[in-house]
Chain A
Amino acid sequence: MKLVACVNHVPDTTAKINPAPDGKSIDKTGVGFIINPYDEFAVEECLRLKEKNGGEVIVVSLGGDAHKETLRKALAMGADKAVLLKDESVRDSFGIARALADYIKEIGPDAVFFGKQSIDGDDAAIGPMVAEMLALPSVSVVVKLEIAGVNVVAEREIEGGHEKVETKLPAVFTAQKGLNEPRYPSLKGIMSAKSKPIDERVPTPVAAKVELVTMQRPPAKSAGKIVGTDASAAPELVRLLHEEAKVI
């Protein structure tokens, strides 16, 4: 099986996000970057499919040289090959999807995996967009996946439940927490990742369809009222919620 996992390099979840002086991007000073947490599930699923069916796992990322760190992490987990679509420009989701779709089309994989969303842009759009660009079926927010030959049964998470989806390979999937438990890279994996080459490609520039006008911090919340220090405060809290806030 030829398996592709698309990975992104994003600010750590513990990072504070401050807009940069240009008001259109974030200030990266002191911000640690990690592999997008949902993309770890995507990489892990590819590795498991390869272990079961044989084949090759290719990890792809679009971005600058910094993304090599995330690609190395995926190689250390066990991916066979990494490709950096080297592009420092700001792209909207359409532009990101186009670059990935162009590359994926060239290599013709059996299955393509994404995280269900990237925790920077939070669009949740790239997976379905790439599927549409490649005219492939897709299942998003997958928590369970069974593949037998080309037949796929996937469960995806919806509001308050699950949907069971049937499709056929080749197909695109976006992974949700719960799909699997991503492995930690072994020492051997980390060592061998250092010697695996990262292929660099330059994607075709695409005109943006969406322009980011400004980025700001959300309006700050001010700390409210401390109602009490033990169970005796419960009646007053319920009164405030009922009469002042009017939410219960």
Chain B
Amino acid sequence: MKILAVAEQRDNKFKKTAFEVTRTARTLADQLSAEVVALAIGESTQGIAGVLGGYGAHRVIAVDHPKLRLYSTTAYARIVAEIAKKEQATIVLFAATAIGKDCAPRVAVKLDAGLASDCTALKVAGSEIIATRPMYAGKAMAEVKIQSSNKVISIRPNVFPTGAQQGGATNVEKIEIPLTDADFSASVKEVTQSSGKVDVAEADIIVTGGRGLRGPENFKMIEDLASALGGAVGASRAVVDAGWRPHDEQVGQTGKTVSPSLYIAVAVSGAIQHLAGMSSSKYIVAINKDKDAPIFQVASYGIVGDAFDVVPALLQEVKKLRGT
């Protein structure tokens, strides 16, 4: 039995999720007596892919092509499915990232496989894998079992451990997949990254501002606190709907579901759709004037006070701690 771990790179550097996927594949493989084959796709991944051995891959395959520098839904899906078939891998593991969420469903169709998306836990029961996946933005947790012989699973970023890297680089097998223009019928031509901005979905610390901040100009202190903590700025739906912040910062059921180590909610009341998107965070801090705000019911630590007093003081203390 083989598990194919799809290791995602951008700019020819592996994302942390690549190691999460590889390590998770290994954890499953050890219980199923299976072999982990890690797969890197890109322009020149052969030189970097060896590191995947250090995260548990038994074998590492690189599929490189000049046209694979940027993501193409059609080409990537074809490559993953072809390698899975060639290797007779019955389980394909992705990270539920922008690429993984887009590619995994296509691969599932190509392999006639059941798909369990955005899983937060995987356990082996006999020869079966039981996947836990949040539904309704985390208002409910489902346990699902994939019954088809081929299985495609994507795991939520930042949830599964990468483990420490062990050993040196593994030998990388380079495999050629002949690709034609038809394989690139939808292709990324350009990537624009917001400079220096940490995305809420990937951040380990998030500072979120809510409507209680009264206006977009008052988000400066949220940005400052987030930056002092090396975290990302989040926003409640009310704030995004009011046009104060961009929608890619929205946390909640119609925004992003996040589970950072630390979530600081400033002047956020904690509507049910917001709580659904963040209550699986490891530690939650609530700062709100209203002692009855629902956010306090999920908060590990709370300050019942005015954000305009508390946040600047907090920023100062954080800077003191960090020595800046």
Contact = CB atoms under 8 A, between A and B. Distances in A.
B98 A156 contact: yes
A247 interface: yes
A119 B254 contact: yes
A78 to B, nearest CB: 22
**Mostly helix, strand, loop or mixed at chain B's interface?**
mixed
Contacts of A194: none
Nearest to A168: B185
A118 to B, nearest CB: 10
Interface string A173-184: 000111000000
Interface in A120-177: 120-129, 131-133, 137-141, 156-168, 171, 176-177
Interface residues of B, number: 100
B198 A122 contact: no
Identify which of B109, B146, B300 gathers the most chain A CB atoms within 10 Å of its CB. B109
B279 A221 contact: yes
Contacts of A165: 186-189
B144 A210 contact: yes
Contact of A16 (B199, B250, B272): B272
A233 B305 contact: yes
A214 interface: yes
Contact of A215 (B142, B313, B314): B142
Contacts of A187: none
B3 interface: no
A132 B186 CA distance: 12
Interface stretch (A43-51, A80-88, A224-232): A224-232
A1 interface: no
The interface size bin for chain A is 35 or more
A166 B187 contact: yes
A37 B305 CA distance: 34
A221 B302 contact: no
Interface string B9-40: 00000000000000000000000000000000
B137 A137 contact: no
B170 interface: no
A230 B186 contact: no
B310 A230 contact: yes
B319 to A, nearest CB: 10
A196 B117 CA distance: 37
Interface in B101-141: 101-106, 108-110, 113-118, 130, 133-141
B137 A122 contact: yes
Contacts of A131: 73, 106
Contacts of A248: 205, 229, 262, 318, 321
Residue among B142, B146, B194, B280 with the most chain A CB within 10 A? B142
Given A122-B134, A221-B297, A209 B305 contact: no
Interface string A218-248: 1001011111111111110110111001011
Nearest to A133: B109
Given A223-B298, A224-B300, A240-B301, A234 B314 contact: yes
Interface in B249-299: 250, 252-255, 257, 261-262, 271-273, 279-280, 282-285, 291, 296-299
A94 B229 contact: no
A163 B253 contact: no
Contacts of B140: 17, 19, 26, 215-218
Contacts of A37: 254
A29 interface: no
B97 interface: yes
A14 interface: yes
Contact of B318 (A210, A228, A238): A238
Interface of B: 70-71, 73-74, 77, 97-99, 101-106, 108-110, 113-118, 130, 133-148, 185-194, 197-199, 201-202, 205, 229, 240, 246-248, 250, 252-255, 257, 261-262, 271-273, 279-280, 282-285, 291, 296-306, 309-310, 312-314, 316-318, 320-321
19 contacts: A26-B140, A122-B118, A122-B133, A125-B117, A132-B109, A161-B191, A164-B188, A177-B240, A178-B247, A211-B145, A213-B142, A213-B144, A216-B142, A224-B300, A227-B301, A230-B309, A231-B313, A241-B283, A248-B262
Given A129-B108, A211-B145, 19 more contacts: A92-B115, A93-B117, A94-B109, A120-B135, A124-B118, A128-B73, A131-B73, A132-B110, A138-B186, A164-B188, A167-B187, A178-B247, A210-B114, A218-B140, A224-B284, A233-B305, A234-B313, A241-B283, A248-B321
Closest 5 CB pairs of A and B: A209-B114, A137-B186, A160-B199, A231-B313, A234-B313
